[in-house]
Structure 1
Amino acid sequence: SVPGVGGRSQRCPVGHGLSQYLVPWAGDFTCDACGQELAEGCSAWSCAQCRLDLCWRCVPAPPLQEALEDTAAAEAPGRPVASPDVMRTGDNSLLQALLPAQAEQE
């Protein structure tokens, strides 16, 4: 897995761990989120279970739930916090929802 913010692992929209790799050759690798062709030697991330490849721009940030848990734990130590499963959708619809938000931020 690829380190994320605070040492957490990067995850696909369904919650599986992503593996970072270097694209071995040009022409056969495309980001499944934005459609960009991945150049030889560039970093990309893959989810084996979802059969998903992502470029560096489309890799999701660590789940929002983890950030919320950190905030809640700091504000109210010892208080229970919702499970990360609450945030998961079980399909790739989250990825599609994130793409317009990423485009607006750029």
Structure 2
Amino acid sequence: MPSMLTPYTSLGTVALLACFSAPIALAAPASEEHQLLTLVLRQLDAIDHLSSASTNAVIDTQARYTFDYARLSADLDLIRQGISGYLTPSRAQPRHPPELTGHYTRSGQIQP
């Protein structure tokens, strides 16, 4: 016996398949984003490790400017906290993250 599918039946089948596949399609970018942000966290850890190693390096006391590794480390911690908070939110309310300093050059005096 020939198939008795009408245009509406096939359209309904397509719509039903689209409804079931939509959550899968929407979950893929979030999973990819989670993987990318986890990679960013690992890279921040590597940068922080290199920065910590550079902190122990000999600093030229006669240099006019030196790099402020402590401030860089503090900003990296803020970025890491923000990404970790996004990946594993502890609450639903929006928060206001602190601003990064962005100034990594010290002149003469050591500042906190």
TM-score (norm 1): 0.30
Tell which has more relative contact order, 1 or 2 (C-alpha 8 A, sep 6+): 2
Q: Rg bigger for which structure?
A: 2
* Structure with greater proportional helix content: 2
Q: Output the TM-score relative to the length of structure 2.
A: 0.29
Higher strand fraction (1 or 2): 1
